[in-house]
Structure 1
Amino acid sequence: MTPVVHVEDLRAVAGGTVLLDGVSFALAAGRVLALVGASGSGKTTTGLALLGEHAPGVVVTGRVSVAGRVGFVPQHPSSVLNPVRRIGGVFREIAAARGGQHLVATALRRARVPEELLRRFPHQLSGGQQQRVVLAQALVGDPAVLVADEPTTGQDPITRAEVVDELAAVVAQGVAVVLLTHDLDVVRALADEVVVLRGGRVVEAGPADDVLTRPRQEYTRALVAAQPRVTVPSEAPDTVPRLEVRDLTATHRRATVLHGVDVAVGAGECLAVVGRSGSGKTTLARCVAGLHESRTGDVLLDGRGLARSLRRRSSADLAAVQYVFQDARGSFDEHRSVLDQVARTAVRLRGTSTSDARRGALDALAGVGLDECTAARRPAGLSGGELQRAALVRALLARPDVVVCDEITSGLDTLTQAALLDQLADLRAAHGCALVLISHDLGVVARLADRVAVLHEGRVVEAGPARAVLGSPTHPVTTGLLGSAGRRTEEKRK
C-alpha cells in the first residue's frame, strides 16, 4: 500500500541538545501507528513535524511527506474549546471559513456528534463528548492523517473506551492516525504499528502485537513490564482514622456537586477515590485540602476539625495536609528555579533556614533521580515526569500527615509512573502518612489502595476495602469502570 505518511531521517536540534536523531517510519491509509516512549523521548517533536510545526529555537531537518491534510486532536480538548461559546456557533464559523456547511455536517457525522450537543457550552459536555467535538473539528476538510496527542490522558475507563471507539470508527473510514501516547492499553486496542522512541532515537519498531508481546529490546520490555494491572489487592487491617470526611456537601456555582460524602483513611493507609469524570472526585480532594470553601460538613484530622479555607488554617495544619496537583507544570512559577520552589516549603511551613531547606531539597530530589543541575532549571527545562516528582518532593518536605494526590500519574510513561508509585509506597511505609489518591487508573489503584470509594454524581455509591470493591463490586458504576478498564486486545478493531 502507498503510504500517506512518510518520515525519513527526521532530526531536530535545540541549541546543543538533540531532540530527534534519524527517526523514520511510514503509514498507510486506514492504519494506526503509535509512538511510545518516556517523557522527552521525542514523541511530541515528531508529531509537530507532521503538522509542519516545531517549538521555538528547534531546527528540524529530514523528510516529512504527507499525502493530504493533517488534522490534530490535542491532549486536553477543553484547552481548544471556547468556554463562552456554544458548540454550534463555533462550527458555523468554521463552515463559513472553510466554504460550506456540508463539510461541517460530514465531520459531525463522522465523529458521531449528536445534534443536541451543538446547543451546549463546553463545560456542559463530558470529557468524552469534548473529545468527540474536537475530533469533529479536526475532521473538517477531510484530512488524510490525524495526529492524536495523548487523547485518553486523564479520562476515566468508560470515557477512555468511548474515545478509543471514536478513533477506531474514523480509522475504519480510511483515515490514518499517528497516536502519541503513554497508555499501552490504548496502543493494544488501536495500533497496527508501534515505534518506540528513547532519547530521540527509534529503539524498536514493528507490528503492535509483536512489539508489545514479544519485545526485542530491554527498554521496550521495561516499558511493558512497568504497566500496572488491575489485580485484587490483599486484605487491609482496620486502623484508626487519621483523616475523616463526614457528611460533606459541596456546591459550585449554586450547583451541588457533593452530597453527604463520608470517607476515612488511617495512618499509613491509601484511600483511592475513583469514578467517572465529573463525579466530584477533585472537589472532594480540594475540600480536604482547604481549596474549596463552598461546603458544609466536617473534615477531621486525628479527630480535630480543619478550617474550610487555607487562609484560616494554621501553619501546622497547612503542613499537615499537602496537595499534589495533576498539572504539575501549572503548579510551579515559570520564572523561578524548581529547586528554590521545592525548598520554599520547608522555609514557609517548618521554619527551616534557607540554606538547610536547600540542602534538604537537594537530598530529597536526588532520591527521586533529579540532580542539582536539573533542579536548578526553571520548570520549562524539565519534563512532565520530572516536574511531577519535584511536586511530590515539595509536598513531602512539609512532613505532612496527609498527602492528597490528584491524578498525578496521568500522562506519565510506565517507567516514570512506576518510580512515582514506588516513592508513594515508601512514603507510607517510612512515615505513616495517609494518602488520598484520586485516579482514573484502576491498575494504579489496585497497586496502592487499601480502601476504595466510588463516586457517582457526587455521591459515594460503593466503598470499602480495596479487595472487596475491586474483587466483588456491587454497584453498576464500579462494574462499568472495571469492565472498561479490562478491555484488551481481543476487543481490538477488526
Structure 2
Amino acid sequence: MTIELLDVRVTHQGRALVDVPQLSLEPGRAVTLVGESGSGKSLLAHALMGSLPSSLQVQGLVSFGGERTPLQDAAARRKLWGHQLALLPQEPVLALDPTMRVDRQVAEGHPGFLRGRRGRLAALKEAGNRLAGLGLHGVQGAYPHTLSGGMAQRVAFAAATIGGAEVLIADEPSKGLDPVARDALAQLLSRHVEQGGSLLTITHDLDLARALDGELLVMHQAGIVEQGPARQVLAAPTHPWTRRLLEAEPGRWDPAWRNPAPETGAAVPLIEARGLAKAFGGRTLFSDLDVSISPGERLALTGPSGCGKTTLGGILLRLVDPDAGEVNHHAELAGGRLQKLYQDPAVAFPARVPISAGLRDVVRRHNVSPERVPLLMDRLRLGHSLLDRRPGEVSGGELQRLATIRAMLLNPLVVFADEPTSRLDLLTQQETVNCLMEQVAEQDAALVLVTHDVGLAAAVADRHLSLEEAVPVASGRDAIAPQGSR
C-alpha cells in the first residue's frame, strides 16, 4: 500500500514548522530524511502518525492506497497503529514502560494478545522468538532500565514490528549506538524494506543514510530543499545547505579552541581516581584503573556500547559507587561547578513545565546572571520562543542544545558530556561543540567526553581513554546490564 502526504503544514502560534507539498512512501522502498535539528523532520513523521502535540496545528491530506483523509483527523490514523503504521521512537528507553518486563511489552503489540489466554501465550512466544532473533536471548524477563542503549533500541524495534505493520517510521534510530550496533540496526531496517514494507527514517547519521540507500530528502527551515537517490545526493549535493552539512564533518574542523595539550604535570587535579574497578552481571568492565583530570584537560572516553564508559563517568562524578578504588574531588568543584550533559537530555528538565521554568530555577538557585540565557540561546541559534514550550514539544536536537545551555550557566570547572551531540546534524553539532568548547576554554575547565564518534573524539580531545573490551550480544544474565553501563 502506497502512502502519500499532500500539502503538509504544521504550525505553532502562526509559525510554520513543517511545509512539505508532497511525500510518498511505497512498498519495498526506503525514504530517509536528513536535515538540521528543528527543521521539522520528526514533526512530519508525527503528522503522519497522528501523534503531534495538541499545542501544534496541522493541515494537509494523507492518502492510504488512494483514500484521502485530513491530517487533522488523527483518530483515523490511530486505528492503524501497530498493524499498518508503526513508530520506532527517538527515545527507546523512555518510550518503554519501566514497570513492565521486556517480553510483555513486545507481546502487547501482537494481534492475538487480547484474544484470551491462548492468544496471550502465543503472543509471548512470538515476542521471545523475535527478541532471540535480534540477539537478545535471556532478556525476556528484564526491565527496560537494565538494558544498554543498543539493547533497548532492539527491544523497541521488536515491539514496533511484531504487529506486522507495513509502514515503519524510525526516528533517529542510531543515536547513541556504536558503529557495530548501527550497522546491525541498518540491516534490521533494510530487512523490513526487502520484505515489502515501507520505511521512513529520520536521522542525522549520514552513514546510516548511505547504508539504507533508497531516496534521500534534505530538510531545512521546515521545507525540503533537495531530494534524490541517497548515493547521488551525498556524493554530489546541489543545494548550498546540503554541501555545508557534508562539509561539517569533525575531521574537517579547524577551530580556534583547538590547542596543544595543556601542561598538566604541575596542576592540582580536579578529579583523581585510583584503583577503580566495576563489574556487572559477572562481567568485569574495568579494574585497577587510575584516572586523573586536571584544569583545561580534554579527555575522551571511547569504546563499544556496554563497555562501561558512562559507568566510569558516573564513578568519576561520584554518582556511582565503584567495586574497588576511590575518587577524590577538589574543593572548588562544590556548588555546581561539576556539570553533566546527559545522553538523554530530557532528564535534565521537568517534563510538565515550560523549559524557561527549569532554567529560571538554575539561575535563582546559583545566583547566575539571567542575561546569560538569551546570550547562549543566540550563540546556539535557538529561537527564544522555545523557552515557552515543554521539553516534549521541541526536537531532540533542540533539547540537547538547551541542556548544554543549562550546564554552562554555572561556569563549571569540569563538564562530563555523555554523547552530547548524538541528536544533532553535523552542522549544528559543529556549532554546539564550538560554543561548548569556547565556554570550556574561557573557564579553563576540564572536559570529559563520552562518544562513539572517533572523528569527534579526535577533533575535541587531547587525551583518550579507550575501554577496549568488546561487549558481545550475550545470552542469559550476561545480556543484562544496568542502564549506567552504556
**In which range does the TM-score fall when normalised by the shorter chain?**
0.7 to 0.9
**1:289 aligns with one of 292, 296, 317:** 317
When structure 1 is superposed on structure 2, of 110-119 and 444-453 the one drifting more is 110-119
TM-score normalised by structure 1 residue count: 0.77
Over the residues paired in the alignment, what is the CA RMSD in angstroms? 3.5
How much has 1:174 moved relative to structure 2? 1.7
Q: Does 1:359 align with 2:371?
A: yes
State the AA in 2 paired with 1:202: I
Task: Give the structure 1 partner of residue 195 of structure 2.
Answer: 173
Q: Does 1:20 align with 2:18?
A: yes
State the AA in 2 paired with 1:392: T
Task: Give the structure 1 partner of residue 92 of structure 2.
Answer: 77
Is the 8 Å Cα contact of residues 87 and 117 (structure 1) preserved in structure 2? no
- Which residues of 2 match residues 280-319 of structure 1 at below 5 A? 280-293=308-321, 296-301=324-329, 304=330, 317-319=334-336
User: For residues 370 and 277 of structure 1, do their structure 2 counterparts lie closer, same or farther at Cα, with a shift above 3 Å needed?
Assistant: same
Deviations 1:258-297 (A, max 9, x none): 5333223333221011223332222222232232356653
Deviations 1:210-231 (A, max 9, x none): 2212111111112222233499
- Which residues of 2 match residues 43-62 of structure 1 at below 5 A? 43-62=41-60
SS in structure 2 of the partner of residue 215 of structure 1: coil
User: For residues 377 and 126 of structure 1, do their structure 2 counterparts lie closer, same or farther at Cα, with a shift above 3 Å needed?
Assistant: closer
Is the 8 Å Cα contact of residues 338 and 413 (structure 2) preserved in structure 1? yes
State the AA in 1 paired with 2:93: S
- Supply the distance in 1 between the matched residues of 2:44 and 2:283 (Cα, whole angstroms): 43
How much has 1:91 moved relative to structure 2? 4.9
State the AA in 1 paired with 2:338: V
Task: Give the structure 2 partner of residue 96 of structure 1.
Answer: 112
Task: Give the structure 2 partner of residue 423 of structure 1.
Answer: 435
- Supply the distance in 2 between the matched residues of 1:172 and 1:420 (Cα, whole angstroms): 37
- Supply the distance in 2 between the matched residues of 1:337 and 1:26 (Cα, whole angstroms): 35
- Supply the distance in 2 between the matched residues of 1:378 and 1:89 (Cα, whole angstroms): 31
Task: Give the structure 1 partner of residue 70 of structure 2.
Answer: none
Deviations 1:346-371 (A, max 9, x none): 6544xx4x6xx123444444433346
State the AA in 2 paired with 1:321: L
- Supply the distance in 1 between the matched residues of 2:273 and 2:198 (Cα, whole angstroms): 48
How much has 1:192 moved relative to structure 2? 0.7
Q: Does 1:144 align with 2:144?
A: no
User: For residues 279 and 364 of structure 1, do their structure 2 counterparts lie closer, same or farther at Cα, with a shift above 3 Å needed?
Assistant: same
SS in structure 1 of the partner of residue 319 of structure 2: coil
- Supply the distance in 2 between the matched residues of 1:102 and 1:374 (Cα, whole angstroms): 42
- Supply the distance in 1 between the matched residues of 2:328 and 2:180 (Cα, whole angstroms): 33
SS in structure 2 of the partner of residue 412 of structure 1: coil
How much has 1:409 moved relative to structure 2? 0.6
- Supply the distance in 2 between the matched residues of 1:115 and 1:453 (Cα, whole angstroms): 29
SS in structure 2 of the partner of residue 36 of structure 1: strand
State the AA in 2 paired with 1:225: E
Deviations 1:95-117 (A, max 9, x none): 53366638974995599335834
- Which residues of 2 match residues 239-250 of structure 1 at below 5 A? 239-240=264-265, 242=269, 243-250=271-278
Q: Does 1:34 align with 2:62?
A: no
User: For residues 366 and 176 of structure 1, do their structure 2 counterparts lie closer, same or farther at Cα, with a shift above 3 Å needed?
Assistant: closer
Task: Give the structure 2 partner of residue 269 of structure 1.
Answer: 297
Task: Give the structure 2 partner of residue 385 of structure 1.
Answer: 397
Is the 8 Å Cα contact of residues 276 and 322 (structure 2) preserved in structure 1? no
User: For residues 111 and 391 of structure 1, do their structure 2 counterparts lie closer, same or farther at Cα, with a shift above 3 Å needed?
Assistant: same
- Supply the distance in 1 between the matched residues of 2:126 and 2:390 (Cα, whole angstroms): 45
User: For residues 187 and 318 of structure 1, do their structure 2 counterparts lie closer, same or farther at Cα, with a shift above 3 Å needed?
Assistant: same
Task: Give the structure 2 partner of residue 485 of structure 1.
Answer: none
- Supply the distance in 1 between the matched residues of 2:220 and 2:43 (Cα, whole angstroms): 13
State the AA in 1 paired with 2:53: A
Is the 8 Å Cα contact of residues 230 and 443 (structure 1) preserved in structure 2? no
When structure 1 is superposed on structure 2, of 74-83 and 335-344 the one drifting more is 335-344
Is the 8 Å Cα contact of residues 81 and 122 (structure 1) preserved in structure 2? no
- Supply the distance in 2 between the matched residues of 1:317 and 1:142 (Cα, whole angstroms): 53
Task: Give the structure 2 partner of residue 410 of structure 1.
Answer: 422
When structure 1 is superposed on structure 2, of 215-224 and 422-431 the one drifting more is 422-431
SS in structure 2 of the partner of residue 97 of structure 1: coil
- Supply the distance in 2 between the matched residues of 1:84 and 1:379 (Cα, whole angstroms): 23
Deviations 1:183-233 (A, max 9, x none): 1111011131111122221111111112212111111112222233499x9
Task: Give the structure 2 partner of residue 445 of structure 1.
Answer: 457
How much has 1:48 moved relative to structure 2? 1.8
**2:339 aligns with one of 322, 340, 344:** 322
State the AA in 2 paired with 1:75: Q
User: For residues 111 and 197 of structure 1, do their structure 2 counterparts lie closer, same or farther at Cα, with a shift above 3 Å needed?
Assistant: farther
- Which residues of 2 match residues 204-243 of structure 1 at below 5 A? 204-229=226-251, 236=261, 239-240=264-265, 242=269, 243=271
State the AA in 1 paired with 2:380: V
Task: Give the structure 2 partner of residue 116 of structure 1.
Answer: 137
User: For residues 87 and 428 of structure 1, do their structure 2 counterparts lie closer, same or farther at Cα, with a shift above 3 Å needed?
Assistant: closer
State the AA in 1 paired with 2:133: R
Is the 8 Å Cα contact of residues 107 and 136 (structure 1) preserved in structure 2? no
- Supply the distance in 1 between the matched residues of 2:194 and 2:132 (Cα, whole angstroms): 12
Is the 8 Å Cα contact of residues 6 and 60 (structure 2) preserved in structure 1? yes
User: For residues 453 and 332 of structure 1, do their structure 2 counterparts lie closer, same or farther at Cα, with a shift above 3 Å needed?
Assistant: same
- Supply the distance in 2 between the matched residues of 1:88 and 1:341 (Cα, whole angstroms): 36
When structure 1 is superposed on structure 2, of 315-324 and 89-98 the one drifting more is 89-98
- Supply the distance in 2 between the matched residues of 1:214 and 1:336 (Cα, whole angstroms): 44
Task: Give the structure 2 partner of residue 480 of structure 1.
Answer: none
Deviations 1:80-99 (A, max 9, x none): 43445444444555353366
State the AA in 1 paired with 2:305: S
Is the 8 Å Cα contact of residues 6 and 61 (structure 2) preserved in structure 1? yes
TM-score normalised by structure 2 residue count: 0.78
SS in structure 2 of the partner of residue 131 of structure 1: helix
User: For residues 390 and 50 of structure 1, do their structure 2 counterparts lie closer, same or farther at Cα, with a shift above 3 Å needed?
Assistant: closer
- Supply the distance in 2 between the matched residues of 1:160 and 1:30 (Cα, whole angstroms): 21
Is the 8 Å Cα contact of residues 53 and 393 (structure 2) preserved in structure 1? no
User: For residues 50 and 103 of structure 1, do their structure 2 counterparts lie closer, same or farther at Cα, with a shift above 3 Å needed?
Assistant: farther
SS in structure 2 of the partner of residue 426 of structure 1: helix
SS in structure 1 of the partner of residue 410 of structure 2: coil
Is the 8 Å Cα contact of residues 136 and 151 (structure 2) preserved in structure 1? no
- Supply the distance in 2 between the matched residues of 1:276 and 1:96 (Cα, whole angstroms): 38
- Supply the distance in 1 between the matched residues of 2:251 and 2:410 (Cα, whole angstroms): 32
- Structure 1 residue runs of 5 or longer lacking an equivalent are 307-314, 462-475, 478-494
- Supply the distance in 1 between the matched residues of 2:285 and 2:4 (Cα, whole angstroms): 48
- Supply the distance in 2 between the matched residues of 1:45 and 1:190 (Cα, whole angstroms): 21
User: For residues 426 and 35 of structure 1, do their structure 2 counterparts lie closer, same or farther at Cα, with a shift above 3 Å needed?
Assistant: same
Is the 8 Å Cα contact of residues 400 and 423 (structure 2) preserved in structure 1? no
Deviations 1:276-319 (A, max 9, x none): 33322222222322323566533345xx5x6xxxxxxxx85234
- Supply the distance in 2 between the matched residues of 1:9 and 1:53 (Cα, whole angstroms): 18
When structure 1 is superposed on structure 2, of 184-193 and 316-325 the one drifting more is 316-325
